[in-house]
Amino acid sequence: MAEKQIHEQSIEELYAEANEHTINVGDVKIHAKRMGGKFRNLKWLSNLVWIVFFIGPYLRLGDRQAILLDIPERQFHIFNLTLLPQDLWMLSFVLLFFAILLAVVTALAGRIWCGFFCFQTVWTDVFTWIEDKFEGSPAKRRKLDKAKWDMPKIMIRAKKYSVWLLISILTGISFVAWFTDAYDLWVDLFTLNASSTAYITVFLFIGGTMFLAGFLREQTCFWLCPYARIQAVMIDDTSIVPSYDVPRGEKRGRLLKGKPASEDQGDCVDCNQCVAVCPTGVDIRGGQQEGCIMCGLCIDACDAVMEKINKPIGLIKYASWDGIMGKEEKPLHKRPRVWVYTAILLISIIGVVTGLSGMESLELKVLHARQPLFVVQSDGTIQNHYTLKVLNKMNEDMKVSISANDDDFKGLTMIGADKEIVAAHGTVTAVTIFVKVPRKNLTEKSQPIVFNVEGKDGQGKLYQSKRESVFIGPKR
Ligand code: SF4
Ligand code: SF4
């Protein structure tokens, strides 16, 4: 039989189960009560974001995986974009962006990431939902924990562990699938042809998922997560987080049948339902704590209780401590840290956009030889020595030709550019070029020279890249 929801339970029933739910001090497993509500629905919806993790590797673009983090080939393909190690400087801006985004969100609204998106809480939520389906209400689960290992208990646990294991296997395979062809991976894994790295990674993920989401679960958020430790310095009295309305709720006291509430009694009827539904076993009435992942499930629970006793909802609500205590709340634009965070976010966005917009499929770099800067040939021409580095970011090798702006250098000849040059895909191809110019045609000791590399892909599309260098001669 499905567990009764708060609105279906009498206040006496709520009190009867109130003491079963204890605050998390790390010594007992938390069996949270599951109930419907606004934040519960929001949590399911946000959990769905992780579907991308499972289906992303199966998207195709032409004959390859649309998103492929190809570490052996040192190429990251993201749809039409190919990133090589040379482009990874942009990663620092991307990391900066997400680090600051996390800081901004935490400063404004606490651990929203933890409550709704973090893989640890999402997987734990799914695992405990499965546990709830096989083992029943929190009271039944606690009883089963203490029961001896007879056949019924073995059967229930075997079913639960089997489903957990299945999800863990899928998690491990899905992770590896981002780094190799996803379809081939399945075949290779089951025909024992996958690499040892793939097997080790899948097994590590299976073990890690079972341990962290199945067995350690809320204790990870409470005791292990480093983010929980640093959030205390990121949030302040203006941060909007799940908060218990202390002036309204206190002095808390139970409703006694047939007896009126005392005059100084607040709206909290001490039913413990906010603790009962908390996935990390926090009593939010004690103020903000490290273990609170700000999922808002205690808000759902308390609102249901308030409706039951005909009081306004919102005894626990998303609010700042200043708001709860009736202080004037500073608008966002008057908070210095919002401006600092916004500036850093903008810098990181500009960095990534600049990097992406400046990316070419074919890139050219020119190195002018320093020793010697030039050579005077026996026929009176001046020769300069260059190394041209052609970076081909496409998925196929490409025949390229190299030229220079001979309009500015009458009689210019190039040695090394006349042979067939194949720019290998995903790497840099170095080409040695000697440029000769008759001495009489040089007007300056040092003149700019522009090199051009161009080639066509299999579909006949032209790609080219230009780079300026200098041509150096003797003093005039
Ligand atoms: S805050 Fe709400 S849910 Fe929690 S004990 Fe008080 S009345 Fe019950
Ligand atoms: S105290 Fe409330 S918001 Fe915080 S983790 Fe528990 S249920 Fe979620």
273 lines ligand 1 (CB under 6 A): yes
For range 371-397, the mean pLDDT: 91
Cα–ligand 1 centroid distance for 269 (angstroms): 6
296 lines ligand 2 (CB under 6 A): yes
Q: What is the pTM of this model?
A: 0.81
- Model confidence at 1, in pLDDT bands (50, 70, 90)? low
Residue 329 CB coordination number (10 Å) = 16
User: In this structure, which residue's CA is closest to atom 1 in ligand 1?
Assistant: 268
> Which pLDDT score, from 0 to 100, does residue 160 have?
98
End-to-end alpha carbon distance in the chain: 98
Task: Measure the CA–CA gap between 252 and 241, rounded to whole angstroms.
Answer: 21
Cα–ligand 2 centroid distance for 442 (angstroms): 77
Q: Is a pLDDT exceeding 90 seen at residue 146? A: yes
295 lines ligand 2 (CB under 6 A): yes
Cα–ligand 2 centroid distance for 127 (angstroms): 18
For range 79-103, the mean pLDDT: 82
221 lines ligand 2 (CB under 6 A): no
284 lines ligand 2 (CB under 6 A): yes
Q: Is a pLDDT exceeding 80 seen at residue 5? A: yes
- C-alpha distances out from residue 433 to 402, 446, 454, Å: 9, 18, 16
**Averaged pLDDT of the chain:** 90
User: In this structure, which residue's CA is closest to atom 7 in ligand 2?
Assistant: 278
Residue with the two structure tokens 């090798």:
397
30 lines ligand 2 (CB under 6 A): no
Of the chain, the percentage scoring pLDDT greater than 90 comes to 60
> Which pLDDT score, from 0 to 100, does residue 475 have?
80
Cα–ligand 1 centroid distance for 26 (angstroms): 22
Q: Is a pLDDT exceeding 90 seen at residue 117? A: yes
Atom of ligand 1 minimally distant from the CA of 301 = 3
> Which pLDDT score, from 0 to 100, does residue 2 have?
61
User: Where do the domains of the chain lie, and which CATH numbers do they carry?
Assistant: 1-359 (no CATH), 362-472 (2.60.40.10)
Task: Measure the CA–CA gap between 400 and 362, rounded to whole angstroms.
Answer: 10
Q: Is the peptide bond before 251 cis (omega within 30 degrees of 0)?
A: yes
Cα–ligand 1 centroid distance for 234 (angstroms): 27
Q: For 309-362, how does the pLDDT look when each residue is reduced to its tens digit (9 = 90+)?
A: 999 999 999 999 999 999 887 777 777 878 888 898 899 899 888 888 877 888
Are 208 and 167 in contact by the 8 Å Cβ rule? The answer is: no
